[in-house]
Chains A and B, each alone.
Chain A
Amino acid sequence: IDDLYFKDEL
């Protein structure tokens, strides 16, 4: 779930 961190970027 930590992996979600950068996925709000394009």
Chain B
Amino acid sequence: MNIFRLAGDMSHVFSILVLLLRLRVAKNAQGISVRTHELFLIVFLTRYLDLFTTFYSLYNSIMKILYIVSTASIIYTIKFQEPIKSTYDKSQDSFLYWQFAVAPCAVLASVTHLIGSGISGFSFIELLWTFSIYLESIAILPQLIVLQRYREVENLTGNYIFFMGAYRFLYILNWIYRANFEAHYQHHWVVYICGVLQTLLYVDFFYYYFKSKKSGGRFTLPT
């Protein structure tokens, strides 16, 4: 554990809390993509199967359970809880995530896992872990698309996405730190490439976020 990873994890937890708070305060789901959180739930459920097989630390286990429960709670709130449920506009949140996210990531994960480990080293848990790394890298896409459609970004929504992006950026710093200060460090290029891709997806958002904070004006995205 280092300061960057801890800050990254905290930023992630904070973003989830901000979103839950935002849903409860505003009592609507305008500008929020439930599909992004469904993708994150798939990511967490496929990655954290090692909760049953390996114990790393109490911190690690608690955070994993927290991510799963809080993400499920976001989905439940938007899809099933009134009055929020009736404000959720399905037609705006129409990213075809099975075709454009889950299926391609499953294929890519199968190919890279088989190349990496061969038939003999094949492990279903490993395969799902690789799949979750790929899927996480694009899980924010439905949210960014919804944002683009609404164009005007509500304050807390902007903050929730900002902390989500900050979390990914801090993880890159964490890898740089680990590579420099840990003995027997091993590079993992799939993790790096997906992590960088995921962070790059936020760059455009960050640009307009900081611009609006600086001007103190309303946060709107260009057409």
Contact across chains for B50 and A7 when beta carbons are under 8 A apart: yes
Instruction: Scan residues 1-37 of chain B and give those whose CB is less than 8 A from a CB of chain A.
Output: 5, 9, 12
Q: Identify the closest chain B residue to A5 (Cβ).
A: B186
Interface string of B182-196 (1 = CB under 8 A from A): 000010100100000
Please indicate the chain B residues that have their CB under 8 angstroms from the CB of A9 in the complex: 5, 171, 174
Min CB distance, B110 to chain A, in Å?
Answer: 16
Q: How large is the interface on A (under 10, 10 to 19, 20 to 34, 35 or more residues)?
A: under 10
CB pair A7 B191 closer than 8 Å:
no
B54, B64, B129, B186: the one within 8 Å of A10 (CB): B64
Question: A3 CA to B215 CA in the complex, in Å?
Answer: 47
Instruction: Check B9–A2 contact: CB distance below 8 A.
Output: no
- A1 vs B188: C-alpha distance when bound (angstroms): 14
Cα-based distance from A2 to B117 in the complex (angstroms): 12
The CA-CA distance from A2 to B64 in the complex, in Å, is 21
B50–A10 touching, CB < 8 Å: no
How would residues 126 to 142 of chain B score, 1 for a CB under 8 Å from any chain A CB and 0 otherwise?
10010000000000000
Report yes or no: A6 in contact with B188, Cβ–Cβ below 8 A: yes
How far, in whole Å, are A6 and B171 apart by their CA atoms in the complex?
12
Given known pairs A10-B9, A10-B67, the reply for A5 and B60 (CB within 8 Å) is no
In angstroms, how far is the closest chain B Cβ from the Cβ of A2? 6
Residues of A within 8 A of B50 (CB): 7
Give Cα distance in the complex from A2 to B114, angstroms.
16
Q: Which residues of A contact B52 (CB under 8 A)?
A: none
Q: Per-position contact with A for B38-73: 1 when CB-CB < 8 Å, else 0?
A: 000000000000100010110010011001000000
* Contact in complex: A5, B63 (CB < 8 Å): no
Q: Which residues of A contact B (CB under 8 A)?
A: 2-10
Q: List 23 A-B contacts (CB under 8 A).
A: A2-B186, A3-B126, A4-B54, A5-B186, A5-B188, A6-B188, A6-B191, A7-B50, A7-B54, A7-B56, A7-B129, A8-B56, A8-B57, A8-B60, A9-B5, A9-B171, A9-B174, A10-B9, A10-B12, A10-B60, A10-B63, A10-B64, A10-B67
